Structure 1
Amino acid sequence: MGRGGQLSPDRPPCPSQRQTWVFRSKELMLRSGSSVPEGSLVYVQEGSNAFLRTPRGWSRLLVPCWEWGREGATMWLAPPNCSSALRLVALNVPLSGDMSGIRGADLQCYRQSQEARLYGTFRAFLSAPSQDLASIVKRTDRTLPIVNLKGQLLARSWSSLLQSQAGAAPRSPIYTFNGRNVLTDALWPRRLAWHGSTPRGGHAQRRDCQGWRSSGPGGGLAAPLGQGRLLAGRRHNCSEALVVLCVEVAFPYRHMW
């Protein structure tokens, strides 16, 4: 048993121990599920997630409220009426402008999020002839904070992220689904992310690598990461391999198992 009544993630509990648990991974938590009493609070170090043991299995606790401070991302304990947050994550490898269309890009976001055991729904951070980037997040969720894979604050809201308001641009690292920091990893020598959007998040015509189906001499809009405006950008050749971002557009369901 660890300090403060926390239980070892590798050993089953004793009935007399406090009902606060720490597991290294979700897999270990699931493996020990039959030994964890109903009502126990569990913290999973891998992914920094918290869960409550319920009669039906496990209920993931919602991400707390966030506030933006001068020194960057600051987390505050959430009052009871706080909602969740939307995660912004990069694909595991840079891609050219040929992603098999917007649906192909969405499919890669979905598959990689599932492989990473992120149970929300992720879509590509791209505009295309069939969609404006600004519209992929529901209106009711556009005031929610945007966080990275590790829960660090990137922006106060989806709206502020797109509008490039003061303090809205990502200052915290942006991670891939497999945990790499695209701002420092050598796999991304150019810190640019495709988006194909106008400054307001609309579709930029003839600036989307032919609907994200071309790696030829055409052009697509991409923005430098870490410079203050995520929808700023210049035209780049579609043959360039750049960052592709994915944004969470639907939350994990409350009962996950």
Structure 2
Amino acid sequence: MSQAWEEVSEGSLVYVKEPSSAFFRTNTGWSKIMLEESDPIFPNDDPFLPEEIPDEDSDNRDEIVAVLPSIIPRIPSLRVIALNIPLTGDMTGIRGADLQCYRQAQEMSLYGTFRALLSSSSQSLSSIVKKTDRGLPIVNLKGELLARNWNSLFDSKLSLHKSGVPIYSFNGRNILSDSLWPHKAFWHGSSQRGSSVRGRNCKEWRQQVNAEGLASPFTQRWLQENDSFSCTKTLAVLCIEIAFPYYYMW
């Protein structure tokens, strides 16, 4: 397979039956895809083969072996997932928000590294995602398409968020319709081009009184429609998967 990679178009998926491995064709060669065991929280997330339950009257019940859930490759993409509750602008700093993204992803047994979709004086929003993966599609927790890719979030000419596609929290709430999020907007503190805006990040996400932060409503324009909010407001905090979990082999 390594000798024939140039004959396969970039973006192709290949599954090797032995030893049950999947590979993604990149511009530099084959990248092994991490296979996740399907134990879905939602009906449409990572479908699996149902366990076969033997008939109680079967004479051969000792010889029947249950079918284990299948292990399937995840299509290369980056997930955007909201924290389980809305937050004020005081998140104990950007690393405090990152820590909450990490912990909630771990609690739900999600592979991948998640960081808060926030900018500060030490971090621009556009630089969060790994460069090699900024062309991957952006999807929600169920794998439904939200945006063409990471770079498109900062392109004012594109309509981004697909109408009617939910954005889920880590515990499965649709934050676009759930009353727990009364303000349908998310913190980011960023300009339309993804750079940090001084004085509009709730004092580095450490203060809620006498401070303001930039946020955007959940519309088709995402970052292209932003406004200043009092940091006492409780808004959604989004977490972005900063890289698809490849296993690079070549």
User: Above 0.5 in TM-score?
Assistant: yes
Residue 133 (structure 1) aligned with residue 125 (structure 2): yes
* RMSD after superposition: 2.5
Normalization by structure 1: what TM-score?
A: 0.69
Query: CA 1:134–1:45 in 2, change beyond 3 Å: closer, same or farther?
Result: same
- 8 Å contact 1:219–1:236 — kept in the other structure? yes
Query: Aligned AA for 1:98?
Result: D
Kept after mapping to 2: 8 A contact 1:90/1:246: yes
- 2:73 counterpart of 1:61: yes
Structure 2 counterpart of 1:153, from 145, 154, 166:
145
Structure 1 residues 50 and 250: alpha-carbon distance in aligned structure 2, compared to 1, 3 A threshold: farther
Larger Rg: 1 or 2?
A: 2
Match among 173, 181, 190 for residue 174 of structure 2: 181
Structure 1: distance between partners of 2:99 and 2:38: 30
TM-superposed CA distance for 1:43, in Å, is: 5.4
Please report how far the alpha carbon of residue 237 of structure 1 lies from its aligned counterpart in structure 2 after TM superposition: 0.3
Structure 2: segments with no counterpart, 5+ residues:
1-18, 22-34, 49-69
Q: TM-score, normalised by structure 2?
A: 0.71
> Structure 2 residue aligned with 1:142, among 134, 141, 144?
134
Distance 1:143 1:253, change over 3 A: closer
Q: Cα deviations across residues 180-231 of structure 1 (Å, max 9, x unaligned)?
A: 0111000011101000001100001100000000011210001011242334
Once residues 145 and 242 of structure 1 are traced to their aligned partners in structure 2, the CA distance between those partners, rounded to angstroms, is 25
1:251 Cα deviation after fit: 2.9
Local SS of the residue matching 2:102? helix
Query: What letter corresponds to residue 113 of structure 1 in structure 2?
Result: A
Equivalence for 1:28 = none
Count of aligned positions? 193
The answer to whether the 8 A contact 1:222-1:236 is kept is: yes
Is 1:234 the counterpart of 2:227? The answer is yes
1:250 aligns to what SS in structure 2? coil
Tell me which of the two structures has the higher relative contact order, counting C-alpha pairs closer than 8 angstroms and 6 or more residues apart: 2
- Percent identity, aligned pairs only, is 53
Q: Any residues of structure 2 matched to 1:165-204 within 5 Å, and which? A: 165-171=157-163, 172-204=165-197
Q: Which runs of 5+ in 1 are unaligned?
A: 1-37, 52-57, 64-83
Distance in 1, Cα, partners of 2:146 & 2:176: 14
Match of 1:95 among 84, 87, 99: 87
